[in-house]
């Protein structure tokens, strides 16, 4: 197997690495620098991922995040925990923007929709209304012909 080598780092190097890790978690890039008081948060939850978008009242996207962007991959992106982590990041961005009043619009049938909404509520956002905008078919396509054997 050979000799085992132990990497020895000085305290300065360890401090620099710790600073980099804390900056990565707190650094949120916003598309618009101005403060916005009212806005909308769209939560799209599918079986595979949860996408959260923050917009102003006109619908212009200010910030977006997803379970994949937060760091989850594969089937883990569709879990409620991944959705709550994405909602935490979105709530931090909303506070940096200065959002006070928020309308939440939920779309999709994934497992992360409820946990993302709960996380937004616990992070201190003032939620005015919650609306479900999942599309529902009224009649659907024509059924197939009866099978003849």
Class of domain 34-132: alpha beta
Beta sheet of 101-108, edge-to-edge order: 61-66, 50-55, 38-45, 101-108, 126-132
Q: What is the tens place of the pLDDT at every residue in 45-87?
A: 999 999 999 999 999 999 999 999 999 999 999 999 999 999 9
- What is the model's pTM? 0.75
Helix (H, G, I), strand (E, B) or coil at 62: strand
Q: What is the tens place of the pLDDT at every residue in 4-36?
A: 777 777 777 777 777 765 554 455 666 656 778
Nearest C-alpha neighbor of 60 from the set 46, 42, 84: 42
Yes or no: say if 63 and 30 are a contact pair by the CB < 8 Å rule.
yes
User: Domain ranges in the chain?
Assistant: 34-132
Question: Which two three-digit tokens encode residue 12?
Answer: 């300065």
């Amino acid at each position: 197997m050979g000799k085992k080598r132990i990497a020895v780092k000085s305290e300065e190097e360890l401090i620099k690495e710790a600073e980099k890790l804390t900056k990565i978690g707190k650094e949120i890039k916003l598309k618009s620098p101005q403060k916005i008081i009212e806005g909308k948060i769209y939560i799209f939850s599918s079986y595979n991922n949860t996408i959260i978008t923050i917009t102003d009242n006109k619908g212009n996207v200010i910030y977006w995040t997803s379970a994949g962007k937060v760091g989850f991959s594969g089937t883990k992106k569709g879990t409620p925990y991944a959705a709550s982590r994405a909602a935490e990041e979105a709530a931090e961005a909303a506070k940096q923007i200065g959002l006070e009043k928020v309308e939440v619009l939920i779309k999709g049938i994934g497992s992360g929709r409820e946990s993302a909404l709960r996380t937004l509520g616990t992070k201190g956002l003032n939620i005015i209304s919650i609306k479900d905008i999942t599309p529902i078919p009224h009649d659907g396509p024509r059924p197939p012909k009866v099978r003849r054997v």
